Amino acid sequence: MDPRPTLVVIAHGSRDARHAATVSALCARVRALRPGLRVEVGYLDFHAPRVPRLLERLSAEAAAYERAVREVVALPLLLTRAFHAKSDIPAVLREAAVRLPLLRVRQAAVLGPSPLLTAALERRLAQAGVRPGDPRPTGVVLASAGSSDPEAGAVLAETAREWRRTAGWCAVRPAFASASLPRTADAVRELRAEGVERVAVAPYVIAPGFLPDRIAAGAREAGADVLAPVLGAAPEMARLLLRRYDDAAADRAHGDRTALSA
């Protein structure tokens, strides 16, 4: 049995088939960057395998080896610490720890904030024709899915401030597809009212789905000049997953088998 912990990527899931396809493409890039590392995907909803069933399968494989224990790093495919990272994912992992004594599971940190995320955002904007430092002044709407968790909103606001400082955009305005305000269209209009010459919308989301489609609709409604693709399987995203995996794997010997970091 491979001594390295198995990486279990925990995705939310969506009724939109593009979501699972994007997650699969991202995990394929992770495997290409780290040959031999076992990477599995479990979903909280809508897709199979669900996280509990995946962990049961990994435990059953461990049972085939006498006295073997499988180490698992469970990595939430989330950009901010909100309800899923704080509540339902830890609950699923704690329940599995009780039922599956042959698994040792550690929850890795969420993906954001990270300079690799802003690098991925810049890659997607460049694909849409906009780069930091372009002669034409550009304001960016950093559009996330949205959360009612104040911590998530504060992190997005700080990410916007830092990205404006480091990239030189004339403005970076947070916006949300749900739960919080302003909406994407409102943020685009606010930048126009402030005299920003070119407005680009950068979706701060990993995979397509209902809320990313709402972001795109808001960008079109308000007449944004540029709409970038979602982060998806950008190379920076794959490197970030491995960074979070390595951090959690390095710490696994220092906590108990249900230790959950963030």
Q: 121 with 226: CB under 8 angstroms?
A: no
CB atoms within 10 A of CB 40: 18
Domains parsed from the chain with CATH numbers: 6-111+234-254 (3.40.50.1400), 129-227 (3.40.50.1400)
* Alpha helices for the chain (secondary structure H): 17-33, 51-63, 83, 89-99, 115-127, 150-167, 184-193, 210-222, 235-251
Looking at residue 119, its amino acid is: A
Mean pLDDT for each 10-residue chunk of the chain (262 residues)? 86 94 98 97 95 94 73 95 81 92 93 97 98 93 90 92 96 94 97 96 97 97 98 98 97 48 31
Distance CA 210, CA 77 (A): 17
CB atoms within 10 A of CB 229: 16
Burial of 91 (0-12, 13-18, 19+ CB in 10 A): exposed
- β-strands 171-176, 138-144 pairing: parallel
Distance CA 202, CA 230 (A): 8
Which residues are CB-neighbours of 91 under 8 A, at least 6 positions away?
A: none
pTM listed for this prediction: 0.91
Instruction: Report residue 110: phi and psi, to 5°.
Output: -65, 170
Residue indicated by tokens 């126009």 = 192
- Dihedral Cα 29, 8, 11, 92, nearest 10 deg: 180
Distance between alpha carbon 210 and the CA centroid of its chain, in Å? 16
Distance CA 171, CA 169 (A): 5
Distance CA 204, CA 143 (A): 5
Burial of 221 (0-12, 13-18, 19+ CB in 10 A): middle
Looking at residue 4, its amino acid is: R
Nearest to 76 by CA among 59, 51, 53: 51
